[in-house]
Copies of this chain bind each other. A is one copy, B any other.
């Protein structure tokens, strides 16, 4: 039964990954300037040619990773597009070198349109270029990624002034979970198979993991998006905000960390706090699907989309549950993976045009028909499918060999 379920999901997920990658290959490449169009309608038609730096970095990463790790994607068009995307980033993302600060969005030909006063454009620049360096073997990409990483760490841990946010008397310094999550993800990326980098970033990894764990509040019953610098709950909406998809994504980042640390106690704590709990409190028992935002006291969030069902919390939940199952063999986790994957495949998947829809109403109706936009590109869907395929493959191999014994 269990084996059948794994096999069936493996097959569906592999096919789906093919269809999703095909969508981006067909519609998103800018052959003239390099980089990727991500504002794509349901059928892949470009409705805007702006280039969002987060999404450029993410697609470079995704293509490079698939090329490097999945034999059937070792296709020249993936590598070529990843390279062209990497070159586009190198040439245009940094607004005013020698400053490392990157734009948030560029015109098609690479002129800066907007700058965010955060670290995320820069983080996805690191992610993309490091992976591109691995797949091409060209050290200049990784060198650039490392230099950017240094700037990011400086902004986060020493001096954020270059980001341009004014220091105001009424702002409580606080830790937004996205920041240590992103850093932990980057440490994972940069350390893979590289003992020197692993040792160099080991302290940063532990620091980031500890910062994320600080977000477990209310006697362990809730993950809050924002806490004070010393790990206390903050007043108001900011302090009560929950984001189930983020908690689940942090969950699998932390599972990877706990595996690297060989720390089974931490691992089971993470499964409880960052995988099971966010799911049970974040799942809509009436209509299915994960809420985008919640208030830990059950008040109404002020984000207009709070009860919408967005694609990415569901892809992150799929990864978190399957990875947690592989780590623990707790049957409940496999059942939850099955539940989320069924919901996602029936609601978000587009069997006709490829890639998933991103934005549903609470009831599960399509609210936005776009396949890509300012915040959705070639990333969460193919990353989840690729990671789930990989985990399922290793589970199946293992089960088979047990059956053969």
Chain A interfacial positions (CB closer than 8 Å to B):
39, 41-42, 47-50, 95, 103, 105-107, 110-115, 166, 168-171, 235-237, 299-302, 304-308, 359, 361-362, 367-370, 373-374
Q: Could you list 5 examples of A-B contacts with CB < 8 Å?
A: A48-B236, A103-B170, A304-B367, A307-B367, A361-B361
CA distance A42 to B373 in the complex (A): 34
Instruction: Tell whether, in the assembled complex, residue B362 and residue A41 are in contact, meaning their CB atoms are under 8 Å apart.
Output: no
CA distance A170 to B306 in the complex (A): 32
Q: Which of B115, B302, B368, B369 contacts A168 (CB 8 A)?
A: B115
Q: What's the number of copies of this chain in the assembled complex?
A: 2
Instruction: Tell whether, in the assembled complex, residue A300 and residue B41 are in contact, meaning their CB atoms are under 8 Å apart.
Output: yes
Instruction: Tell whether, in the assembled complex, residue A304 and residue B305 are in contact, meaning their CB atoms are under 8 Å apart.
Output: yes
CA distance A370 to B302 in the complex (A): 8
CA distance A302 to B50 in the complex (A): 13
The smallest beta-carbon distance between A240 and chain B, in angstroms, is 8
Instruction: Tell whether, in the assembled complex, residue B112 and residue A169 are in contact, meaning their CB atoms are under 8 Å apart.
Output: yes
CA distance A170 to B108 in the complex (A): 9
CA distance A294 to B359 in the complex (A): 16
CA distance A369 to B170 in the complex (A): 28
Given A48-B237, A302-B370, A168 and B41 touching (CB < 8 A)?
A: no
The smallest beta-carbon distance between A170 and chain B, in angstroms, is 3
Chain B contacts for A170, CB-based, 8 A:
103, 105-107, 110-113
Chain B contacts for A302, CB-based, 8 A:
39, 368, 370, 373-374
Chain B contacts for A370, CB-based, 8 A:
300, 302
In the complex formed, the residue of B with least CB distance to A92 is B170
The smallest beta-carbon distance between A360 and chain B, in angstroms, is 11
CA distance A264 to B370 in the complex (A): 43
Chain B contacts for A299, CB-based, 8 A:
41, 47
In the complex formed, the residue of B with least CB distance to A370 is B300
What 14 new A-B contacts, CB under 8 Å, besides A95-B168, A300-B370?
A39-B236, A49-B235, A49-B236, A50-B237, A111-B169, A112-B168, A115-B166, A300-B368, A302-B368, A302-B374, A304-B368, A361-B361, A361-B362, A362-B367
CA distance A113 to B113 in the complex (A): 25
CA distance A159 to B289 in the complex (A): 48
In the complex formed, the residue of B with least CB distance to A310 is B304
Chain B contacts for A50, CB-based, 8 A:
236-237
In the complex formed, the residue of B with least CB distance to A45 is B299
